[in-house]
Amino acid sequence: MKHNGSREWFDRAQTVIAGGVNSPARSFAAVGGNPPVVVQKGEGAYLVDVDGNRYIDYLAAFGPLVLGHSHPHVVEAGVRALAEGSLTGTPHPTEILLAEELCRSIAGLQEVRLTTTGTEAVMSLIRLARAYTGRNRVIKFDGSYHGHSDAVLVRAGSGASTAGAGDSLGIPPGVMHDVISLPFNDLEALRNTLTQIGHEVALVLTEPIVGNMGIVHPEPGYLQAMAAMTHEAGALLGFDEVITAYRFHYGSAGALLGVIPDLYALGKIIGGGLPAGAYGGRAEIMALVSPLGGMFQAGTLAGNPLSSATGLATLEVLRTTNPYPRMDELARVLETEILLSADRHGIDVSINRAGSGFTLFFGVDEVKDYRAAQKADSTQFAAFHRLMLEQGVYLAPSRFEAWFVSAAHQATEIERTISAVDYAFSRLRG
């Protein structure tokens, strides 16, 4: 497989874009440091690079592309919206339709405010929780990634941990003081912290199923107990469902697990591949958001007609075609076959799967928190990543990310992937 075009484009990128990438998670620094593949276009379940190489895509652009690339219904909605004016700076029917659909399908979401990114959604959710409770401190969990606003970069996961920047430079000590990061799935740690400083805590923020230290499930009862303790302390519970909403079923992961938070952050899938985020929750809390209340938050591009149209079209396809059982089944087949192949070749791996998303960890038996995820073998992952790429399978370039099966994947792609994995494992062994 030739990568000359990628190399040339990336050389150019490095002279004008910091590190050659507009988001660190796209770099190949954690998988051997080769230039990343420069992608020309996406087609269904495939990425096509500037050299014409085709890859089965398990990145899904880090989550949004649940329908794969360029689904006809989404393209049609986007083209129509663009032709009718992509930005009006006024209220617009499409953003209202999207907000209605979100409130209809996300349990406990009575009112919403659309933003442009997931980062803004979480940042605003935190401000709102502080405004509502009159308290400053936030509890989050090690290895979770909630975007790149100051507060949530304290011991963050995903691209931040891949880049070795769990605590970023440039964050004022006061911000660090107000954020407490605890191990996920550790009720004792949460209980102790809330006992000591619960009266100062505005918000307990978590992904209900973690996507950013690899996929990590909450232990049975963990989220229920978290909700009870949080409320007992007079704090709000916030679910960051930027990855999880509409990934596992048509709604929130919280609803699947039987826990409804006070506030949600949404993103990724709700923009259908264009920039979009949202935060919201109980109407009584949302009443604090300007212009109704004194918590200020705004956005020139927020709820823009173009992102709203592609987001709405994506949700329509998900709601009317229900691709979830098929996606989950394909991911289950992948999981089973990867584990069998690993066993055959004597490669030590474990898999955490939630529906159509899963993470393959090398050299660890069980991952329930960030500490265990960090023990996953990065050298072996890097070699595996390279071997898969050379066989036309694109995986996220980090051992902390997920493989996402989309509605565009068919049995053929799954079979080809299983063969590629088997070959990669045989080479790792040799």
Interaction site with ligand PLP (CB under 6 A): 62, 117-119, 122, 145-147, 158, 207, 211-212, 240, 242-243, 267, 277
Among residues 207, 214, 148, 243, which one has the least CA distance to residue 398? 214
**Nearer Cβ to ligand PLP, position 119 or 304?**
119
Q: Exactly one of 57, 140, 178, 268 is catalytic; which is it?
A: 268
CA triple 79-276-24, angle to 5 deg: 110
Q: What is the 3-state secondary structure (H, E, C) of 221-279?
A: CHHHHHHHHHHHCCCEEEEECCCCCCCCCCCCHHHHHCCCCCEEEEEHHHHCCCCCEEE
Among residues 104, 14, 56, 82, which one has the least CA distance to residue 417? 56
> From the CB of 229, what's the least distance to ligand PLP, in Å?
22
> From the CB of 117, what's the least distance to ligand PLP, in Å?
4
> From the CB of 261, what's the least distance to ligand PLP, in Å?
14
368 in catalytic set: no
Q: Exactly one of 57, 142, 178, 240 is catalytic; which is it?
A: 240
What are the distances in angstroms from CA 156 to CA 42, 182, 322, 375?
29, 11, 33, 16
2 in catalytic set: no
> From the CB of 11, what's the least distance to ligand PLP, in Å?
26
Q: Exactly one of 58, 132, 145, 222 is catalytic; which is it?
A: 145
Name the token pair of 307: 């992102």
Collapse the DSSP code of 307 into the 3-class scheme (helix H, G, I; strand E, B; otherwise coil) and give the result. helix
Collapse the DSSP code of 350 into the 3-class scheme (helix H, G, I; strand E, B; otherwise coil) and give the result. strand
**Nearer Cβ to ligand PLP, position 137 or 268?**
268
375 in catalytic set: no
Residue keyed to tokens 């100062």: 200
Cβ(398)–Cβ(30) below 8 Å: yes
**Nearer Cβ to ligand PLP, position 20 or 147?**
147
**Nearer Cβ to ligand PLP, position 153 or 338?**
153
**Nearer Cβ to ligand PLP, position 123 or 330?**
123
Spatial neighbors of 111 by CB under 8 A, at least 6 apart, are: 103, 280, 281, 282, 283, 286
> From the CB of 352, what's the least distance to ligand PLP, in Å?
16
Name the token pair of 296: 């200020």
> From the CB of 196, what's the least distance to ligand PLP, in Å?
27
What are the distances in angstroms from CA 323 to CA 75, 244, 355, 405, 422?
18, 15, 11, 11, 27
Q: Count CA atoms closer than 13 A to 395's CA, side-chain side.
A: 28
**Nearer Cβ to ligand PLP, position 267 or 355?**
267
The set of catalytic residues is 145, 240, 268
